[in-house]
Homo-oligomer: A and B are copies of this chain.
Amino acid sequence: MQISKPNWFESLKQHIEENDKITVFRHHNPDGDAYGSQWALVSWIRHHYPDKEVYAMGLQNGSLRHLFPPLQDVRNEQVLDSLGIILDTANAPRIDDRRYLDCRYTLKIDHHPHDDDYADESYIDELAPSTSEIVAQWMYWMDPKPLPMYIAQFLYIGMVMDTLHFTISSVNAQTLKVAGYLLESGFDVASLDDKMMLMSKNIFDYITYLRSHCSVDRIGLVYCYVPLDVQEQFHLTTQQAKEEVNAFKRLDVAKVWALLVEEDGLYNVSIRSRNHQVNQVAEKYGGGGHRFACAAHRLSFEQTTQLLDDLKNVLI
């Protein structure tokens, strides 16, 4: 397999080899890529350097937590003067666990737009579809033998979740070759996919509700309000309710789609689009994100109607 070798690969290797205490961070409300890249790197370092102290940082929550090791309770002295590696996290407020400030030295490894230089060194590939792919490339460069299966699975989860099963534009030949390298470890993709993607009947019914209650605007905006009583009806947390924004992704008339999820009388809005830039709309309401995938939080109902108008204007 041909893989690209960024010039920082050697530097990451040196930092890891020079430090006996390493803490690995990622963002709040971890998705598959945050969890996957974090636990893969933690496990890989432990596997190759069993004498080092290595800790995974952050609250172990979200709908994918069952795919990863349980929460570690890391004491302050275990963080102090460690090498801190922060994965998949665009800006400092998003880092899960403030104690990254206690690290001796910090490295940022990410694929989001690099707008916050919070670490001592930053290794950024904005074109990479996932942080897990970057980490997998580095591991391949360190040793091209197949990875231990559990490490390969962590990274595969990250790649699949962030690329929506290899269907987003940034997926390229290398993405699939790296995924092929991970599969050399020999796990069954169907079983892993079931563990990632199977949903309980209440989530299944909630998505059915979204499909039958969405507003489909003539110019390509599809959206659905999710009031509190609907979240209660399907036994959902606000976070779970927000995660199903892609319920409308396969609908051909949907150019931009959004979920507006009530919380404390205000609304959290998740926005997706096929190829219309929408993050400037989210930013107008104090939110942000990627060009085609973004969010804004704690808006009044009136603000949400303005935001929907702004999204329609993007489409005109």
Q: A175-B180, A176-B179, A208-B208 are in contact. Are A169 and B189 (CB under 8 A)?
A: yes
A174, B179: Cα distance in complex, Å:
10
29 pairs from A and B in contact (CB 8 Å cutoff)? A166-B166, A166-B179, A167-B189, A167-B197, A168-B189, A168-B190, A169-B191, A171-B189, A173-B180, A173-B181, A173-B183, A174-B180, A175-B180, A176-B179, A176-B180, A177-B177, A180-B180, A197-B250, A199-B250, A199-B251, A200-B252, A200-B253, A201-B253, A204-B250, A205-B211, A207-B211, A208-B211, A208-B212, A211-B211
| Copies, count | 2
Are the CB atoms of B168 and A165 closer together than 8 Å?
A: no
Interface 1/0s, chain A 123-144, versus B by CB < 8 A?
0000000000000000000000
Please report which residues of chain A, range 180-212, place their CB below 8 angstroms from some CB of chain B when the two chains form the complex.
180-181, 183-184, 188-191, 193-194, 197-201, 204-205, 207-208, 211-212
Interface 1/0s, chain A 207-223, versus B by CB < 8 A?
11001100010000000
Nearest B residue (CB) for A129: B189
Cross-interface CB contact of A176 among B177, B250, B253, cutoff 8 Å: B177
A162: shortest Cβ distance to chain B, in Å?
Answer: 13
Are the CB atoms of B176 and A190 closer together than 8 Å?
A: no
Nearest B residue (CB) for A165: B165
| A316 CB–B CB distance under 8 Å | no
**Residues of chain B lying within 8 A (CB to CB) of residue A171:** 183, 189-190
| A240 CB–B CB distance under 8 Å | no
Are the CB atoms of B251 and A194 closer together than 8 Å?
A: no
Cross-interface CB contact of A201 among B165, B193, B204, B251, cutoff 8 Å: B251
Please report which residues of chain A, range 78-122, place their CB below 8 angstroms from some CB of chain B when the two chains form the complex.
none
Are the CB atoms of A198 and B251 closer together than 8 Å?
A: yes
A152: shortest Cβ distance to chain B, in Å?
Answer: 10
| A274 CB–B CB distance under 8 Å | yes
A193, B170: Cα distance in complex, Å:
13
A142, B250: Cα distance in complex, Å:
37
Interface 1/0s, chain A 250-282, versus B by CB < 8 A?
111100000000000000000000100000000
**Residues of chain B lying within 8 A (CB to CB) of residue A165:** 165-167
**Residues of chain B lying within 8 A (CB to CB) of residue A174:** 180
Are the CB atoms of A166 and B184 closer together than 8 Å?
A: no
User: Counting chain B CB atoms within 10 Å of each CB, which of A173, A200, A252, A274 scores highest?
Assistant: A173
A173, B186: Cα distance in complex, Å:
8
Are the CB atoms of B166 and A189 closer together than 8 Å?
A: yes
